[in-house]
Structure 1
C-alpha cells in the first residue's frame, strides 16, 4: 500500500504572520485595541475547544464576545485581521509537497482548525494546489491529540494506519499518532520533508 503523508498546518506549513513569523496576535492591542490576555479570557479559554471541534460556530461566538472586547469591531474585520496575520507560508515545504506528489505520494493536511479558517487556508492561501485534501478537527468533531481524530482521519484518507505518516511540531500529537498505529515524525524549524521521510 502506498504511504500517505499527513501534514500539520500551524508551525509546519503556516508559520505566523507574513512580515516576521511572530504570532498573529503580537500587535493586536495596538491594531485593534484588544488586550491579548482579555482575548484569551473572554474568547479562547471558554469557547475555543468547542469551536475547533465543530460544536460552536465561530461567527456566533465572536458576535457575542466582540462587544466585550472591542465594541466597534465587526466579526468580519476581526476574522480578516486574524487570518491575514496568520498566513506566512513555508514555500520550501510546499515545494517539497509538490515534488512528493509528482512521485506519487498522497498528502493531506491534518490539522486542528475550525471551518472558516480551514476554507481560508485551502482557498485564499491556495494550499489545495499543493495537497490532496485537508482533514481537520471541526470536520471530524475531534482534535489532535485525541485518538478519535486519528481514527477518523485514517478513515477519511482511505489508508491503513500503518501507511500513514504524521509530520507535526507538537510532541503530544506525535505520541498520539504512534499510539494509533501511524508513523510520526517531529517537525522542527528548518527541517526538510525529504530528509524526515528518508527520500533522496
Structure 2
C-alpha cells in the first residue's frame, strides 16, 4: 500500500470515527415500502437493539425480534415501549423462528453470518402465503461492477456522514449490533443460490456496500 493511500485511509477512518452513522438503518424506510401498509405479523432476524423491529410495529399487529446476543436483546427490550407489542428472543437465527409463520420476515446485514442456502430455506418455510421476505445483505467484492460501486460509495458515505451529523463532528452512538465479519459469497453466487431456493426473487446491487433481496410467497 502506498504511503499516500495509507494516509488517505487513515484520514477517512478518523473522519468517520467522529461522524458515525448507521449504514443498515439507512435502508429501513426502503424495507417498509416492500410490503403492505398493514400486516398481522412480522419478525426481524438479527434484530440488534431493535430499531427496525420498532418501525415494523407501526405496520404489523405483532412483531418479534430475534438475536443471538443476550446483551443486545436485553438492550432492545429496554428501548422498546411496552405498548409497542414487540417481543424479543435470544436465539440462533435458524432455530429461533420456532413453528410460527410470518407475513413479513426481515434480515439486515446478518445473512452472510449464516449458511446462506439453509437460511433462505428456513425463511421461505416460515413465510405465510402472500408474505414478503426482505433481506439487506453484504457480498464479497469481485467483479468490476462490484469495485466501481464500492468506489462510488466512498464519496456518498462522506456526504451521508456529514448530513447525519450536522452541527459538527460530535460522536453519536449508532445502533448496537453484533460484531460483523466479511462476506464469503459474491453477488453472483448469492443470486444463483437465491434463485434456486426462491423462484421469482428480486435482487439488486446497491451503493454503500449492500445488496437487497425481495421475495413474495405466492
TM-score w.r.t. structure 1 length?
0.35
Higher fraction of helix: 1
Higher fraction of strand: 2
Greater RCO structure (CA 8 Å; 6+ sep): 1
